[in-house]
Amino acid sequence: MSTASIKVGNKADVHYLLRVADACLILSQRLGEWCGHGPILEEDLALSNMALDLVGQARGLLTRAGQLDGQGHDEDQLAFLRDERQYFNPVLMELPNSASGNSQPGDFALTQLRNFAVATWLQLLWHELQSSSDAEVAAIAAKAVKEARYHQQHAADWVVRLGDGTDESAARMRAALALLWPYFNELFADDAVSAAAAAQGLGPQWSTLQPQWQAQMNEILAEAGLSLPKPSAYVPSGRLGIHSEHMGHLLAEMQYLQRAYPGGKW
Amino acid sequence: MNPQPSSSACGRLEAAWEVLRQIPDPEVPVISLWELGIVRDLRETAGGLEVVLTPTYSGCPATELIQDDVRAALARFGTVEVILQRAPAWTTDWISEAGREKLRAYGIAPPGRVLDSGAQPIRLVHRASLSKLACPRCGSANTEKLSAFGSTACKALYRCLACREPFEYFKPI
């Protein structure tokens, strides 16, 4: 493997799969930052375990996207050798673990709220992808949907516990909700890529997942005593490769080893 | 769900099945890969054997180790190719009865049956409520969950309030 950056082609199916793969990969990287820094041992384990599940899901989809792209790129090359504008995850995934931009210490409330929102979205998405026209994607989804459900359950528990907890935990949860709220819009923004994927039966249009996602969010936020912020018109464009200022820093750490030691293996 | 070797299989294939059934799981060595229900098929190829396995969790770090173990154990039969087949997805329902008993004897509460694979509502359970899971050591149902995640992707951590021993629970998936 050389250190030269790689690019994927313009096929809609490849981009559609990379949007999901990169969402899993980048959130996994963020959750991995908690390893050794969790507030309690049990949650340190939980965040690392969820990061592992997510990176496993990403690996399957990256491999499949590489095959469909037809340039001979494997999961490792796609994970580590693309440049920032070639990653297609929603911006939500790359946001630091705290509003201050610091990963350590991360903000546990923000982390759990994002985990809940993303697991709810992924659980609905994987459920639909089980009937994908692509047999490999359907197989990945059948496995992943069970993992996402467990993640959702765990995060929901924390959102309620913190939102309906002490003054401090509730204030942190309110702040996290205010910060993350505008970024949720991107999960459901359709475009030509999702239209093409839906037309060929690869996966659903993003917007079709919104009603159920909103209903499940509303249920848990109500249980947590958190009121919904006003709708935001902001739609980030991470799925088009246009990221926040945080993405480059994240990639610098994530890609360091493969860039410094090309093709390095355990 | 586990496949059986066909009756027409030659002695070599049967001998290979015999070896394959004995390979332990690297993270829970008390049960075999066969009892765990991840062995799908074993076929003869021109140069050796082809083994089909179903991975457990998407990110299970033992997956590569399991492939290496299978290759090493079957090396005397020639070139061994391990194929990971995701569909249908592995479920803990495929853990054999014998495997469940071995888990329990080892101190790991075996998974309950996965009843429904469809969408399930989010269940919020009060933390102080009892888990109803039987302690694998003393059998008491007076147990509580300590951690939803454990030492490996497939387990959660519990404790028995009767015998005071902590124990692991193989999560149903």
Looking at residue B11, its pLDDT comes to: 87
Looking at residue B115, its pLDDT comes to: 66
Distance separating alpha carbons of residues A258 and B3, to the nearest angstrom: 41
Q: What is the CATH number of domain A12-260?
A: 1.20.1260.10
Å from B61 to nearest chain A CA?
8
Higher pLDDT, A21 or B5: A21
The answer to whether residue B5 sits within a structural domain is no
Query: Do residues B111 and B51 share a domain?
Result: no
* Domain membership of residue B132 as a residue range: 107-170
The answer to whether residue B73 sits within a structural domain is yes
Chain B: residue nearest A47 by CA?
B149
pLDDT band at B65 (very low <50, low <70, confident <90, very high): very high
Looking at residue A92, its pLDDT comes to: 98
Looking at residue B7, its pLDDT comes to: 44
Q: Look at B150 and A45 and tell me if their CB atoms are within 8 Å.
A: yes
Higher pLDDT, B27 or A137: A137
Q: Look at A140 and B58 and tell me if their CB atoms are within 8 Å.
A: yes
Query: Do residues B113 and B79 share a domain?
Result: no
Query: Do residues B29 and B71 share a domain?
Result: yes
Chain A: residue nearest B150 by CA?
A45
Q: Look at B122 and A220 and tell me if their CB atoms are within 8 Å.
A: yes
Within 176-195 of A, beta carbons closer than 8 Å to B belong to: none
Instruction: Give the Å distances, CA to CA, from A114 to A8, A37, A180, A244, B161.
Output: 28, 18, 7, 16, 34
Q: Helix H segments across B3-162?
A: 11-22, 33-36, 62-73, 97-106
Residue B38 has pLDDT above 50, yes or no: yes
In chain B, % of residues over pLDDT 90: 62
Partners of B87 on chain A (C-beta within 8 Å) are 135, 138-139, 142
Instruction: Give the CATH number of the domain where residue B48 resides.
Output: 3.30.300.130
Distance separating alpha carbons of residues B173 and B117, to the nearest angstrom: 9
Higher pLDDT, B87 or A177: A177
A90 contacts A183 by C-beta, under 8 angstroms:
yes
Q: State whether residue A119 sits within 8 Å of chain B by CB.
A: no
Looking at residue B60, its pLDDT comes to: 83
**Which of B50, B84, B118 delimits the end of a domain?**
B84
Q: Look at B120 and A149 and tell me if their CB atoms are within 8 Å.
A: yes
Task: State the total domains in chain B.
Answer: 2
Looking at residue A100, its pLDDT comes to: 84
Residue B21 has pLDDT above 70, yes or no: yes
Lowest mean pLDDT among B7-11, B42-46, B89-93: B7-11
The pLDDT tens digits of the residues spanning A137-192 come to: 999 999 999 999 999 999 999 999 999 999 999 999 999 999 999 999 999 999 99
Provide the whole-model pTM.
0.91
Distance separating alpha carbons of residues A98 and A104, to the nearest angstrom: 8
The answer to whether residue B117 sits within a structural domain is yes
Looking at residue B118, its pLDDT comes to: 58
Respond yes or no on whether ipTM tops 0.90: no
Q: Look at A220 and B59 and tell me if their CB atoms are within 8 Å.
A: no
Query: Do residues B156 and B112 share a domain?
Result: yes
Q: Which residues of chain A have pLDDT under 70?
A: 1-3, 103
Q: State whether residue A137 sits within 8 Å of chain B by CB.
A: no
Chain A: residue nearest B87 by CA?
A139
The answer to whether residue B6 sits within a structural domain is no
The answer to whether residue B142 sits within a structural domain is yes
Query: Do residues B111 and B60 share a domain?
Result: no
pLDDT band at B173 (very low <50, low <70, confident <90, very high): confident
The answer to whether residue B100 sits within a structural domain is no
